Structure 1
């Protein structure tokens, strides 16, 4: 992973004189960033925001600080900020999932069928519980669950302290647990 981070930093550095090099980062991270955005706002918005994430990263690549963060958390941070701008859409998305129990971010029909069989009744409750989290708690929880980021990476992506990530995640988990226990109880 350290080799990838230094390689990513080198790609950004060299892209200031050879802009085509930046496409390497797009090919390396676009699918991951797209999945993250789709899990937050649905697949229709994900295409546009994923493209906007990389456009902003390209435009601001001269500001990238290799000593502060790897490219992956930097891209997640940009994506999360764009998602924040779409917050009302995100809340509407989770409310629709809560009403219908259908998550359009699930890609394959097989996954959809498996999910329905195993947890159809819970999806709506999970989505409803997500709408009750504050934005900071929701960002941290989804970055862990959908992005697979660690505490350090989330802290870098959101520009907050690791302790803040930990406390937000603990609060989010407690609220989600309480909501799910209320459903099963």
Structure 2
């Protein structure tokens, strides 16, 4: 990942906010990553709005960002995650809709040559979506930032403004719940 200094920001001992002129470069570098993360959470249409709003909030709060902390990306993910919380109902509905989608029925509608692994993958997505929809907010946020955004534990802690230990325990609990639920589904 890029350091704040490489983005045109100063990182000496005194905290320095993001220069408004640097925000365009930050957008160019990170908008695609944020869009990918948000799209997987709430769908493309809402995700575009959330990413745009993320950069608007970042611009409005640029004086609160301490460039000496290093990476700007975890801060942006934190803003995006907070905005996604507003769209939680949409996210939950989308995950539940995926969970209710019957992979077998969709396979029957398609061509007869549809591969078995495609059907299995669709069923797995439905089960996984149902599990994600039932996770507590913090566990889901931590898991998505880890798995989708590929952030390190420390970056997740910074993005969500929670202790590192809380990230580790939330991720552990989320993984355990996902594993158990998927294993239960396989046993059926």
- Indicate whether the TM-score tops 0.5: yes
> Match for residue 4 of structure 2?
5
Please identify which structure carries the higher helix content: 1
Determine whether 1:54 maps to 2:82. Answer: no
Shift of 1:70: 1.6
CA distance in 2, matches of 1:60, 1:114: 50
> Match for residue 134 of structure 2?
132
2:78–2:158 contact (8 Å) kept in structure 1: yes
2:35–2:51 contact (8 Å) kept in structure 1: yes
Matches within 5 A, 1:59-70: 59-70=60-71
Q: 1:52 to 1:179 in 2, by over 3 A?
A: same
Q: How many residues align?
A: 172
**Structure label with greater radius of gyration:** 2
SS of corresponding position for 2:68: coil
CA distance in 2, matches of 1:152, 1:24: 24
SS of corresponding position for 1:67: helix
> Match for residue 179 of structure 1?
181
> Match for residue 148 of structure 2?
146
CA distance in 1, matches of 2:8, 2:84: 25
Q: 1:11 to 1:54 in 2, by over 3 A?
A: farther
Q: Which runs of 4+ in 1 moved over 3 A?
A: 11-16
> Match for residue 121 of structure 1?
123
Greater Cα shift, 92-101 or 131-140: 92-101
> Match for residue 34 of structure 1?
35
Shift of 1:117: 5.2
> Match for residue 105 of structure 1?
none
Superposition TM-score, scaled by structure 2 size: 0.84
Shift of 1:63: 0.6
1:37–1:50 contact (8 Å) kept in structure 2: yes
Unaligned runs of 5+ in 2: 104-114
